[in-house]
Amino acid sequence: MNIAAVCGTFHKEEIERMLEYAQDEASIRDVKISHILWVPGSMEAPLALERILRNEEVDAAITLGIIERGETQHGLAMGQAVTKAIIELQIKHNKPIGLGIIGPGAEKHHIEPRLEPHARSAVNAVIEMSK
């Protein structure tokens, strides 16, 4: 099984750690993260997913990102739009996408404890849905 990872660079240090957790989980589960795409942020993830899911070698994808709580509702609106687009891409391509996006509405103290579980859960979700 080949999994693509779409990773946001807006919180690059944290997302690099999430990617390490995801790669570890994939290794444990005997699958491979074969493609890694970096995008500016979660808003750009759906387009990158659309492009990579066309590749016949890619069986599934995960997306890793963080949408923090801001002073306005921008993050919430963006999070809802991104999640909806990801759901539609799964259906369109009939390939699972693991949602490893922390938030929307994440505050600084929410991020650290969620890095590992969100990354590992995204990998496990696509493995389970590929059966």
Catalytic positions, please? 74
**Residue 43 and residue 85 in contact, taking contact as beta carbons nearer than 8 Å:** no
**Residue 33 and residue 23 in contact, taking contact as beta carbons nearer than 8 Å:** yes
The values of phi and psi at residue 90, to 5°, are -60, -45
Tokens of residue 13, six digits = 């240090």
Q: What is the DSSP code (8-state) at residue 43?
A: G
Give the H/E segment covering residue 69: none
